[in-house]
Structure 1
C-alpha cells in the first residue's frame, strides 16, 4: 500500500510540474529551469529523494542570502531565498 501511495505521489508531481506558467518568472518558475514539461526541482526529488533535495534547498537559500547584496539584485535574490526556504519547509513538514 505504501509503495502504491508513493507511485501516485510521483505521478502527481509530474502532473503538477507540467502546469508551469509559460511566462519567464525569475523567482518561482525561471524559464531556464522549465525547458521541458517537468520542473527541475520535481525531477530532482524523483532522482535524489526528499532528504538530498531538502538539504539542497536549505543551502541554496543560504547562498542567495549570502550574495544578495553583491549582485545588484538584492530583492530578487531574497525572493529566491524565500522560495527555497518555503520548499525546504514543505519537504520537512512531516518531521514535526
Structure 2
C-alpha cells in the first residue's frame, strides 16, 4: 500500500527547479527532503507554500508546464500581498520559471543539453540579469550563478549582450562616480567578478 502522506513526487525536489526554489529561500539540504517539511520549516503561507509545492514536483506527477504555470500564479499572489524582499524573491523566481517554460514548450522532453537551441532561453537570461543590475532585486548572486551554470546554453549574441551590459554599467559608474546603478558594494564585487569570469570563457 502506497504511503499517502509521503508521495514520491514530493520526496526530493525536481532538479529543473532547484535554483528557483533556492531563490525562494529553500536550502540545498531541504531540497533533498520532503516538500512539506521545507514549507513548514520556512513558515511559508498558503500562496508561497503552493508555489513551492508545484515547483517541487515539476514534471514528476503530471505536466511540467502546468506545474510551472500554477507556481507562477501563486507567486503572483505573493507579489501582491508580501513585503518588498519577498516580492523581489518572487519576481526573480518568475523570471527563472519563464526560462523553464519556454524551454519545455520549445523542446518538450529534449535533454537539457539541447536547451541552447531555444532562442528565447538566452534572451530571458539577459533580461533577468538586467533586472538584477542596480539592486532591483535581492537575488543578483543567484541569477549570476544561474547564468554561469547555463553559459554553454546561451547563444554567442546573448553572451555578447551580457558582457556589453556589464561593461556599460561600469563605464557609466566610473564616469559619474556614482555606482548606485550597479548596486551595493557586494553587488559591485559580484558584477566585477562576473565580468572577469566572462572574459576567461572560451
Superposition TM-score tier, normalisation by shorter sequence: 0.3 to 0.5
TM-score by length of 1: 0.44
- Length-normalised TM-score, structure 2: 0.26
Higher-Rg structure is 2
